[in-house]
Amino acid sequence: MNKSFRDEVYKLVRSIPIGRVMTYGQIAAVCGHPGAAQVVGQIAHFGPPDIPWHRVVNVRGGMASGFTIDGRKGQARLLEQESVIVNEGFIKLSEYLWWPKN
């Protein structure tokens, strides 16, 4: 993927509201690259630490094992600080999934 895709991912993740989440695949699709969920994961893993990466979960609402601050537990802790209920490493996407308005 090119730099503009990465920049679009950064911009989109920055726009996710507090207490809401998006999935890796959803982000890829919104940024024009459906099927690039793993690339979004790599962008998140190596991206700037000031972006709220904890608001990005897998397609089942699961926490990221490679989350940079204490793995799944660290991501869950950050989401819980935003009043997101995490149950055994998963959230209910039906309650917290966010879609940007065009």
Token pair listed for 13: 């993740």
Ramachandran quadrant class, 23 (left: phi over 0; alpha: psi -120 to 50; beta: rest): beta
CATH 1.10.10.10 correct for 3-96: yes
Distances (CA, A) of 82 to 3, 8, 54, 85, 97: 30, 24, 10, 9, 14
Instruction: Say if CB 82 and CB 18 are below 8 A apart.
Output: yes
First to last CA, the chain: 23
CB 1 within 8 A of CB 10: no
**pLDDT tens digit sequence for 22-80:** 999 999 999 999 999 999 999 999 999 999 999 999 999 999 988 888 999 999 999 99
pTM strictly above 0.85: yes
Domain boundaries along the sequence of the chain = 3-96
